[in-house]
Chains A and B, each alone.
Chain A
């Protein structure tokens, strides 16, 4: 067999969002949909706050309550959804 040609990957204009890391995506998602603020008020560091907010989100959305940014949680964060926040006004 012929060796496979290396696939060229292109950053398409207008698609910079794809370069966002998983943690950045999560932080943005948790803040946008109202999960972060309450947890942040009780502080405890960025990582702990992220874990608490993740748990809130996971419970609210019926996901396994791991407090971690697991594959299922990330998939949910990438899923198409309504823009109305889940928590708060």
Chain B
């Protein structure tokens, strides 16, 4: 996961939202329910609460619109961009906008919720049978008032269950007419209209007067989309007109004729040839719930994730049984902490065979041997196979003495699991080393020895400062390089060269703290600082030409301000806060997890 630059987040947890307008595609109740469920996705895993308000300024203002809708980031018609949202903050920040040139559904096709009738507001059942014929859309057959209706079971003939479909003849939404139906014809600006119109508006929404004269009464409402309403084209929201004429031929259903992409379309007047009015026929549409849950993630401070299965991945895909991905959970909990759910279960002192693990929100640590009562320090002496020539070269250089910080006595029982972060992490002699303020711990995945330490940095590598920024072991010579501030040290066993300035390596003033190193084959190491990295030729102890380079150019998808960067088990690790991003040698982020639980394997 990623958060926005500066970790933008709300400074309070009791957030409000307000729905400024509704899409004509769905019943207002369906939209409200979808938004409520979308917020619940996030409130279930954080301390955040969401309350809908109906007036005034809410933290999260939600609106539907199309094209340029007032914020300078226009939508692009059907498909393509579906919605966008702004990171937390005042004004437009935190707001979520949905493109109303899309067909908003619950993801599986048009949702036709009925009104009145005898089905209690149930949705249409398509297809349904009426007088022996099968229908897959709302019909006006069997009625003289022109109101479209549908059966809510597979057969009206058998069950006699029905309801009325959305229609401007039945009701309007929004406006100032309390849902009254349209009155046709009506007069607007001196012109008579006998259908809903977009005239007089710049936002493309279809409206009608609810009295015979808008000019006189100023009463109006917005027209709900019929189930046959087209999407996009140049007649958004108008119903298909069947039959219609296209290139001289008559069509009584949606067709892909005239198109290369196979999409179904229809004319919205009786003759496409004459009027050129058209739109796409309804498809599965986009789930307002899924898109809203994604956008609300932005509104809470999450940026796009690189994990394809995550909700915050930028591309839409429909999933039937939605569950929030672990990556999303980690992201939102990074910003706001955990929810009010059950606390993680404390590990039992002595697990028994009968005991079953309690479910908890914590990542499950992998199996770990029980710690011994007295942790045995493992030897950490670095190898000493450097060439004499190199040592002599280095010894000849002038060394600026650096005041060495005298470490305070190290408490061997000091637990690495209580540390919130580490100064440096690196693998030395096959063991991960975690450095923090004069101390270090080791962990060997090979020996399954668990976490060892704390040990004193000064005891193992005399002369180093208490706080080091980065370290790496040269693959060829086994020498260990340490970095602190703008200085570095090279250890062969307990013999040391340094401190020397990192400018001796060719790293200029633009570099601050070296945050980590990645060994790249034999004799090359990448050194990271800020948002850049250098490639060090270890033998000549000089960075290669053409560096620094931007970290994001190659290591895309990891935090650019990682605190620790290290190679472990042939994969690149970038740590920020409590989390790490693991990247394959092919630069694919394949895991995001907790340093504490996944790498340190704390209980």
Chain A residues within 8 Å of B, Cβ to Cβ = 7-10, 12-15, 17-18, 33, 38-39, 42, 52, 56, 59-62, 65, 76, 79-84, 86-87, 89
Q: Which residues 509-533 of B sit at the A interface, judged by CB distance below 8 A?
A: none
Question: Within 8 Å of chain A (Cβ to Cβ): is B346?
Answer: no
Q: Which of B217-235 contact A (CB under 8 A)?
A: 232-234
Determine whether the beta carbon of B258 is less than 8 Å from that of A10. yes
Q: A80-B79, A80-B82 are in contact. Are A10 and B259 (CB under 8 A)?
A: yes
Any chain A CB within 8 A of the CB of B77? Answer: yes
Per-residue 0/1 for B258-276: is the Cβ within 8 Å of any A Cβ (1 yes, 0 no)?
Answer: 1111000100000000001
Contact (A82, B304) CB under 8 Å given A10-B259, A38-B553, A62-B588: yes
A9 touches B259 (CB 8 A): yes
Q: How large is the interface on B (under 10, 10 to 19, 20 to 34, 35 or more residues)?
A: 35 or more
Does B553 lie within 8 Å of A52, measured CB to CB? yes
Residues of B within 8 A of A9 (CB): 258-260
Q: B552 an interface residue at 8 Å Cβ cutoff?
A: yes
Spot the interface stretch: B306-314, B378-386, B472-480: B306-314
User: What's the nearest-Cβ distance from chain A to residue B490, in Å?
Assistant: 33
Q: Smallest distance from the beta carbon of A33 to chain B beta carbons, Å?
A: 8
B interface majority secondary structure:
loop
Residues of B within 8 A of A (CB): 4-5, 73, 75-77, 79-85, 102, 232-234, 247, 257-261, 265, 276, 278, 286, 291, 294-295, 298, 303-304, 306-308, 313-316, 550, 552-553, 556-557, 586-589
Tell me whether A79 and B550 are in contact (CB under 8 A).
Answer: no
The answer for the CA separation of A61 and B314 in the assembled complex, in Å, is 8
Q: Is A12 in contact with B233, judged by CB distance below 8 angstroms?
A: yes
| Bound Cα distance from A80 to B314, whole angstroms | 9
Q: Can you name 25 A-B pairs with beta carbons within 8 Å?
A: A8-B258, A9-B259, A12-B233, A12-B265, A13-B234, A17-B77, A38-B550, A56-B553, A56-B556, A59-B557, A62-B588, A62-B589, A65-B587, A76-B315, A80-B80, A80-B82, A80-B315, A81-B80, A82-B81, A82-B82, A82-B294, A83-B73, A84-B303, A86-B304, A86-B314
Which residue of the partner chain B has the closest CB to A34? B304
Residues of A within 8 A of B298 (CB): 82, 84
Complex CA gap A13/B550 in Å reads 44
B81 adjacent to A81 (CB under 8 Å): yes
- In the complex, which residues of chain A have a beta carbon less than 8 angstroms from the beta carbon of B307? 62
On whether the beta carbons of B82 and A83 are closer than 8 Å, the reply is yes
Whether the pair A81, B258 counts as a contact (CB closer than 8 A) is no
Shortest distance from the beta carbon of A82 to any chain B beta carbon, whole Å: 5
A52 contact set on B, CB distance < 8 A: 553
Q: Is the CB of B316 within 8 A of A81?
A: yes
B75 touches A83 (CB 8 A): yes
Bound CA span A80–B552, Å? 25
Asked if A83 and B257 sit within 8 Å, CB to CB, the answer is no
B81 near A59 with CB under 8 A, answer no
Residues of A contacting B85 with CB < 8 Å?
82, 84
In the complex, the 9 A-B pairs of residues with the closest C-beta atoms, listed nearest first: A83-B84, A10-B258, A59-B556, A83-B81, A14-B234, A80-B316, A81-B315, A60-B556, A79-B315
